[in-house]
A and B are shown apart, each in its own frame.
Chain A
Amino acid sequence: MLKLENVSARIDNVEVLRNISVELPGGSIVAVVGRNGAGKTTLLKAIMGLLNLEEGDISFEGQSLSKVKAYERVLLGIGYAPQERVMFPSMTVEENLRFPCQIARYSKEQIAERLKLTLEIVPQLEELLPRSGAALSGGQGKMAALGRALMVGSHMVLLDEPFQGLAPALAAQYSDALQRLHKKMPDLSIVITESNAGLLKDIPDKVMYIERGALLPEPAVSESTNESAVGAQL
C-alpha cells in the first residue's frame, strides 16, 4: 500500500503540492487526473524521491520513504515511466530495458525472467529490442518506457501521462498492455497520471483529481471519465 500523509512540496518557492493525503491499496490501478501544470508529474516525482518534501511523509508497504534515497527506491520494486519518453539513445531498447536491473544487481536469470514477463505484457517490444533507443517513434517510446518500468516494478509502477500524444491504435495497444499487466500481476499497484480522463476508459479502479497541487474530492469513475466532467469538477 502507498500512503501519502500531508505531503507538501515547493519548487522555487512556489507550492507545487499542497497537503496531499491519500492511501492507495496494493493491487489497485489509480488514476490521477488534472490539467497541465496541476501537479500530476510533481506528485509522481515526490513518490520517486526526485523532489524534496517540505512537509509530510510517504510510506510504501508500511515503510517510510523519507530515509530512502531516490536511487534506492527501485530496490523496493517501484518502476517509473516518465512523461517524456526517455530511452537512452546510445543503448538499444534491450539494453535500456536491462539497464535498471543491472544497476539493482539482478542476476542474469532474474533479468531474463523479468524480460520474458515484460515481453508477455508488452509483446510489441519484441521486435524493437535490437533497435537504438534513439530510433523509436513517440508511441514506441511510451511502450518501451512502460517495459523498462516493468523490469524493476515488481510492486508498483508509476506511469506519467502514458496516453498523451498516442495515436488511437497505439493507445488501444497500451490499454491492452495495462489490462494484461493487471491480469498477470494482480498484486501490482499502478498509478497513472493523465490530463484527459476520457483516455483512461475503464482502466482505473479509482480516479482522483488534482488541481494546483491539491487533490480534489473523488468522484466515482463512472461519473466522470471525460474532460468535460473534469472541467466541471475544476
Chain B
Amino acid sequence: MGVDTLLLALIDGVSYAGLLFLVALGLTFIFGVVRVLNVAHGSLYAFGGYSAASMGIWFAQGAGSITLSILALILGAGIVGVILGYGLMLLLHRFRDRDPIIQLLVTFGAFMVLEDVQVMIWGTQPYFVSDVMFQMGDTSLLGVVFMNYQLWFIPSVALGVYVLLRWFLKHSLKGRQIIAVTHDREVATALGVNAGRIASFTFIIGASLGALGGALASPTTSLVPGVGADMIVLSFAVVATAGLGQISGALIVALMIGIARSLSVYFLPQFEVVMPYLIMMAVLLIRPQGLFTVAEARRI
C-alpha cells in the first residue's frame, strides 16, 4: 500500500462522502419533519444530475466560464428541488394520515414512475458534462494530481451546506420552527407553529439538497438510468447508521462510509459494494437506534 494510493483513496472517499452527505442530509431532514422515509429522494438525486447536465449543455458548455458552469449546477438542482420536491410533497400530503408503510410504498411507487419519466426525457445513453471539473484545474499532492473540483469544491460545498443549515436551524425563527415540529409536531402547533407550512418548506429544502447532490455528482460520473437507486440505498445506510433525523451524525457517517468504500475500491475491490452495509450492520447490531440517536426510555 503506497502513500500515494492511500491519499488517492482518502481524497476520493471524502469527495464521495460530500455527495453522499448532501443526499442523506436531505433525506434525514425530510424524515425529521414529515416522518416519511422518502424513497423517491433517489429520483431527486438523478433528476438533479440530469437537469444540471442539461443546463450545462444548454448554456455553459464551451463558454469557458466557471461561473456559468457553477450556475448550471445550482439552477439544475434548484429547479428540480422546487418543482419535483413540491410535486412529491403534494403527493405525500394526500396520504399524510395513512399508515407509514403506505406512505413508504407511495414514495417507492413515485420513485418507479420517475425512473421511467427520466428515461423518457433523457433516454438511456450516458450523460456526461464535465466542463466545470476541468475549468477548476488540478492540484498536485505528494506527486498525485487531483481535480480541484473533487479535492476542494465538493467537500467545501457539503461542509458549507452543513454549517449554513446548522446556523439556520439554531438562529432563525423558521429554523427553530422546524426543530420544534421535528421534536413534537402537536406541541409546536399548540404554540402557534403552522406545522403544515413548515413541513412543506422543509420538504423542498430537503428535496433541493438531494438534487444538489446529483448536480454536483454529474460532472464526475456518467449519468445512466438507475443512478438514483444506487445513491438512495447508500443514503439509507448513512441515515440508518447515524440515526434518523441526525444531521451532524449524517456528516460523520457519510465520511465513514465514503472513505471506507473508497479504501475498498483501492485495496479490497471485492468488498466495494458491501462495505457500507457492513458498517451499517456492525453499528446497528451494537446500537439499534443508530450511532448518534440518544435512546429514550420507552413510555408504557
Q: Which residue of B lies closest to A48 (CB)?
A: B190
In angstroms, Cα B193 to Cα A99, docked, is 10
Q: Does the CB pair B177–A103 fall under 8 Å? A: yes
Q: State whether the Cβ of B65 lies closer than 8 Å to any Cβ in chain A.
A: no
| Contact for A103 among B179, B183, B191, CB less than 8 A | B191
Q: Which residues of B contact A100 (CB under 8 A)?
A: 191-192
A80 to B190, CA, bound (A): 7
A228 at the interface (CB under 8 A from B): no
CB of A90 closer than 8 Å to a CB of B: yes
CB contact under 8 A between A74 and B190, given known A86-B184, A90-B170, A102-B173? yes
Residues 171-188 of chain B, each 1 if its beta carbon lies under 8 Å from chain A, else 0: 001001101100110110
B156 at the A/B interface (Cβ < 8 Å)? no
Chain A residues with Cβ below 8 Å from B189 are 50, 70-71
* Bound: A11/B189 CA distance, A: 18
Known contacts A90-B170, A90-B179, A91-B176; decide if A74 and B191 are in contact (CB<8 Å): yes
Which chain B residues border A90 with CB–CB below 8 Å?
A: 169-170, 179
CB–CB B180/A99 < 8 A: yes
Residues in chain A near residue B187, CB distance under 8 A:
80, 82, 86
Tier of interface size on chain B: 10 to 19
Task: Looking at the assembled complex, report how far the CB atom of A156 sits from the nearest CB atom of chain B, in whole angstroms.
Answer: 13
* Residue of B176, B186, B191, B195 contacting most chain A CB atoms (<10 Å): B191
Is A103 within 8 A of B190, CB to CB?
no
Closest to A103 in B: B192
Partner of A71, one of B169, B173, B176, B195: B195
Which listed residue, B176, B186, B192, touches A152 by the CB 8 Å rule? B192
| Contact status A74-B179, CB under 8 Å | no
Q: Please, which residues of chain A bring their CB within 8 A of the CB of B176?
A: 88, 91, 95, 99
A89 within 8 A of B: yes
Residues in B251-272 with C-beta less than 8 Å from chain A: none
Contact A71 B192 (CB under 8 A): yes
Residue A75 lies at the interface, judged by CB distance under 8 Å to chain B: yes
Bound complex: CA A102 to CA B177 (Å): 10
Tell me, in angstroms, the Cα distance from A75 to B189 when the chains sit together.
12
* In the bound complex, CA of A48 to CA of B187 (Å): 10
Across-interface contacts of A70 in B (CB, < 8 A): 189-190
Q: How far is the CB of A12 from chain B (nearest CB, A)?
A: 11
- Chain B residues, CB < 8 A from A73: 190
Complex Cα–Cα for A95 and B242 (A): 27
A148 — which chain B residues lie within 8 A by C-beta? 191
A sample of 30 cross-chain residue pairs with beta-carbon separation below 8 angstroms, ordered by A number, consists of A50-B186, A50-B189, A70-B189, A70-B190, A71-B189, A73-B190, A74-B191, A74-B192, A75-B192, A80-B187, A82-B186, A82-B187, A86-B183, A88-B176, A88-B179, A88-B183, A88-B184, A90-B169, A90-B170, A90-B179, A91-B176, A91-B179, A99-B176, A99-B180, A102-B173, A103-B173, A104-B192, A148-B191, A152-B191, A152-B192
The 5 closest A-B pairs by CB, nearest first: A74-B192, A103-B192, A100-B191, A80-B190, A86-B187
